[in-house]
Amino acid sequence: MMAFAWTLQAAAAHAGPSLMHLQEGPRKFAGGTESSIGSGVRRVSLTGTGEVNYVERRRIDDREGNCKLTYQATGSTIQTRPLILRPNNPCENFRLETVGRSAKGPRVISGRAKSSSIIMAAQSSTNDHVHDRECFKLATVELAQGVISAGLIRGEFFWPVQQIIGISDEERTRIRDMNDLIHSWDVIANKISPKTFESKGIPLSQVKLLAPIPRPTGTIMCVGKNYLDHVKEVDTKFSSGKITAPDAPQYPIIFTKAPQSVIGHGAPIRYPHGASSQVDYEAELGVIIKTAGQGIKKADAMRHVLGYTIINDVTARDMQKNHQQWFLGKSCDTFCPMGPWIVPATEVDGLNLKIECWINDELRQSGRTSQMLFGIPELIEVISSTITIQPGDIIATGTPAGVGSGFVPPKHLKPGDRVRIRIEGIGEMTNPVE
């Protein structure tokens, strides 16, 4: 692995926030050279991999000792994020991922800081760090005696939200489910620290995972034909096999799905016998909105994202065709498997995740979220241009190629099948078909 080192400048002031800049000092790494190309942008040329551009970053310790990191990936907007799980441990052991572009596609410069030094490394995936440490997730579970609880999962244990150290009695009373937790997330997130997970958690073997938002109070918004290869397989006008970017949708195709169609990991997808004989699967990244907004620009869109989950946009193709509108054929009971949990956006980069779907043991779908025709920031901008998005809204961002209707002959789901979807950095969701 090719690595290079940076040093941190000491904090300059005690009164007010202290600012720590990543210095312009020597940056050493194997197998390449580095240079400045102006306007704060520096370029790393790595042997055999092309060039990676990145922008200077800084980290801030505020008056309360909370650590935040301001950074900018090449071609992206400036972002400021809290360094999750360490709100009261000023800027130690953080990990930063930023995406650049190289001659061979997306590359990453990632860093882990401890004390006064940073070791940086070029890697192939923006989400390799998910496997380096235990992320926490938001989940809804069924406890003993049928009690439903929202809370956090880390490792093999679950902590009800009421157990989070530092939350007030009023918050414990007010947060009854995941919808409430999402509305309060920015406040609650600042109270999550390593101490949160020092108390005794409930073993996952003793709970039943439900959909992270079992009954959404927000809108489930879906995106059609958002991957070029999927457009090719389902649109008959491309039956010749030739397709170019201008032929693809020039504007996002947005539709909705009924909230009562939501089920969780392990729950059965039930065939609507008598209504459909062509039930299909669509593995998708789900985006959970945490803050309301209208007229949101792409540059600010990710600030409204709480995190990510897995969604299977199950579809009755014959109903979809017969009714012309998509709502009914995509909203049958059990047609929105979601789960197994929500991974906060601070823990995983949703812009470049691998999506895979197996039917029984056959891999049917494989793609990356970076292949979307309309990325998450653009989708939020388009939707919020006319609709005020709300906490708890869900955006199913579209599916890559490999759906059952794209095969000749079609490979629709049938009772007895098992659908397994995996998204890098999030996990796996499995649902049987009945």
> Domains of the chain: which residue ranges?
3-124, 136-209, 220-432
Prior bond of 340 cis (ω within 30°) = yes
DSSP 348-366: S-TTS-EEEEEETTEEEEE
Residue 90 CA to residue 114 CA, distance in Å, equals 10
pLDDT digit string (tens) for 51-106?
A: 444 443 444 444 444 444 444 444 455 555 444 333 333 333 333 333 333 333 33
Query: What is the rounded average pLDDT for all residues in the chain?
Result: 76
> For residue 198, is pLDDT > 90?
no
**Residue 113 or residue 201, greater confidence:** 201
Q: In the 8-state DSSP scheme, what is residue 199?
A: S
Q: Is 377 exposed, middle or buried (0-12, 13-18, 19+ CB in 10 A)?
A: buried
112: left (phi over 0), alpha (psi -120 to 50) or beta: beta
CA distance 116 to 122: 20
Q: Residues 162-166: what's their mean pLDDT?
A: 85
pLDDT score, position 249:
86
Query: What are 324's two structure tokens?
Result: 């012309």
Instruction: Write down the pLDDT at residue 135.
Output: 84
Instruction: Give the separation between CA 299 and CA 18, rounded to whole angstroms.
Output: 26
Which range, 13-17, 247-251, 409-413, is most confident? 409-413
Q: What is the pLDDT of residue 134?
A: 67
32: helix, coil or strand?
Answer: strand
Please tell me which residue, 236 or 330, carries the higher pLDDT value: 330
What pLDDT, on a 0 to 100 scale, did the predictor assign at position 247?
A: 66
- Sign for the pseudo-dihedral over CA of 234, 237, 240, 245: negative
Residue 197 confidence class, pLDDT cut points 50, 70, 90: confident
Do residues 289 and 221 make contact, with C-beta atoms less than 8 angstroms apart? no
pLDDT band at 412 (very low <50, low <70, confident <90, very high): very high
Q: Provide mean pLDDT across the span 236-248.
A: 52
Radius of gyration of the chain from its Cα atoms, rounded to whole angstroms: 23
C-beta contacts of 175-181 below 8 A and 24+ residues apart: 175/150, 176/150, 177/140, 177/148, 177/150, 177/214, 178/138, 178/140, 178/150, 178/212, 178/213, 178/214, 179/213, 179/215, 179/216, 179/217, 179/218, 179/391, 179/392, 180/150, 181/138, 181/150
Lowest average pLDDT, out of 69-78, 123-132, 214-223, 390-399, goes to: 123-132
Distances (CA, A) of 334 to 212, 270, 401: 15, 6, 22
User: Which CATH superfamily includes the segment(s) 220-432?
Assistant: Fumarylacetoacetase-like, C-terminal domain (3.90.850.10)
Helix (H) or strand (E) run with residue 171 in it: helix 169-174
The yes-or-no verdict on residue 302 having pLDDT over 70 is yes
Q: What is the pLDDT of residue 24?
A: 33
> What is the pLDDT at residue 145?
86
pLDDT in tens, 93-146: 333 333 333 333 333 333 332 222 222 222 223 343 333 346 899 999 999 889
Q: What is the pTM of this model?
A: 0.71
**pLDDT tens digits, residue range 257-273?**
999 999 999 999 999 98
